[in-house]
Structure 1
Amino acid sequence: MNGRTPARTALFLTAPLLAFLLVAYLVPFLGVARWSVTEPELGLAQYAKLGGDPLVHSVLMRTFRIGLTVTVLSVLAAYAIAYVWVRGTTWQRRIAEICILIPFWISVLTRAFGWLALLSNRGLLNTWLQAAGVVSQPLQMTGQEFSVVVGMTHFLIPFAVFPIASSMRGIDERVLLAARGMGASRLRLFWSVFAPMTLPGIAGAGLVVLVFSLGFFVTPAILGGGRSVMMAELVYIRMFQSPDWGLGAAISVMMVALVGLLMATLFRFARPALVGGGR
């Protein structure tokens, strides 16, 4: 030993990462925060404007509504995929791995245009439905929240798989064998033993997906067609199309504060599951 304590060693090893995060995230955010109180003049007028702007209120509600919907759908789909990945047969695990990893090789822009080609009025899905005689007129599936939710859910499912799969892998098989030995059916075993022990993974996946979804820009902009605007797109509109840099910066700061408050609240209420859910 060279005399350095473990705490000092850990600080030394993480110092480059902390410095990078400070430069890459905190410094730009402080610049945006400065704009929110200096553009067009010094003061809190932009934040006061946010409090009485019905457009901001409606977009904020839509953002959280879509974010919560996407979170629920993504976690449910990710749970099923993770279950197959962890507890399936060999070939089932390989298929699950392909479903998880391949989406990471495709950019969010490519995925959004792929869904646009599939769901638009002249897209593949409407073409097939009309050719089969199921519908006489194309279904309007783009330019609304439905297509935004579909595109975002498709993108975020792989991110939810990993914390859930990690939680599943941490389950002690002896607990499951003991429950089976005491006469629990497969359904009872899953709902009463297996699922509660994966609560830490579910909570972690939900938090990751929700935070990601609240800041989405490309997918809502393409699939929403300007009719399902979310907060990130509203920031872009205020800064580059209005332009109103002060208001756009104020919206950005407000969203960071809301997400931070949401994360702190979720951590507070999910702490019992995170600490003891896997026992």
Structure 2
Amino acid sequence: MRNLSKPAILLGPLLVFLCLTYVVPFLGILRWSVTLPEPGLGQYQAALSDPLILSVFWRTLRICAVVTAVSVAAAYVVTLLWVRGGPVQRLLIEFCILIPFWISVLTRAFGWLALLSNKGLINTWLQSLGVLSEPLSMVRNEFGVIVGMSHFLIPFAVFPLASAMRNLDERVLLAARGMGAGRQRVFWTVFLPMTLPGVLGAALIVFVFALGFFVTPAILGGGRSVMIAELVYLRIFQSPNWGLGAAISVILMAGVALLMGALMRAVRPGDKS
């Protein structure tokens, strides 16, 4: 009992902090969703029946799905070079993974805006080289949002993939090579299937992060690719309709909770409790 009490004492302040900073504010939002402007579930009914809100939900899911696919695919290649590359290659990849964490999301979004806008660096260079006669529209649309979000989320997908690749039993790969399988066949039939739990974990982490993005879609989308987080901001601070904004937030939180539950089951598939 003494050994069990020490971790509980150490975790106590953290649990209190999490309750005060997350649980209590969420309960307040939940109360708003069923009390403003009048008691009842009318705001949930409005959120789930309004074509505009439903279109934002579907746009958010579509963008998050594409961002997840792009981020995980890019992160898989980066992680493979990081885990199985040479010393110099590993050091270079580590810098490429860690440096983005030192740059704020706002700075990155404006950086992509400077690159992708109609008068940005990419369009200017392509037009000066004669490749384009008219600038490509790469911002104020879903393309710019996907590029900016993927750039931000790739490092978050690297770590679960690295864990899966480093825990892989090398003897299985050597056995496959010893039985005559080539490098490509070993990768597709042995290496990739054995790292699928890491792929699934990375995909769920990226998808959950992407659902709550606000700054990047607001800047690169230019108000034309509104996502859920931006819609909540508009409903609370510009409409204003605090009850509806709170209801949308609760629906989003419920979706995130379901995805996190799926993540836990994927990480611990044998846990049936």
TM-score bucket (shorter structure)? over 0.9
Q: Are residues 1:223 and 2:220 paired?
A: yes
> Which residue matches 1:211?
208
The amino acid that maps onto 1:54 is P
For the 8 Å contact 1:84–1:93, the answer to whether it is kept is yes
In the TM superposition, 1:11-90 aligns within 5 A as 11-90=8-87
Matched position secondary structure for 1:143: coil
Shift of 1:262: 3.2
- Contact 1:200/1:275 (8 A) holds in 2: no
- Aligned in 2, Cα 1:57/1:176: closer, same or farther, shift over 3 Å? same
* Residue identity in the other structure for 2:133: S
Identify the match of residue 93 of structure 2 among 68, 92, 96. 96
The aligned runs of 1:80-159 (5 Å cut-off) are 80-159=77-156
Aligned-CA RMSD value: 1.6
> 2:220 and 2:226 mapped to 1: Cα distance?
10
Number of aligned residues: 271
One-letter code aligned to 1:125: I
Counterpart of 2:190, as a letter, is V
CA distances 1:171-214 after superposition (whole Å, capped 9, x unpaired): 12122112111111111111111111111211111111000000
Question: How far apart in 1 are the matches of 2:239 and 2:101?
Answer: 34
DSSP 3-state at the match of 2:244: helix
Residue deviations 1:19-54 (CA, integer Å, cap 9, x gap)? 211111010000111111111111111111112200
Q: Assess if the C-alpha contact under 8 Å between 1:32 and 1:249 holds in 2.
A: yes
1:168 aligns with 2:168: no
What residue number does 2:192 align with?
195
**What's the counterpart of residue 240 of structure 1?**
237
Contact 1:160/1:209 (<8 A) preserved = yes
Q: How does the TM-score come out when normalised to structure 1? A: 0.93
TM-score by length of 2: 0.95
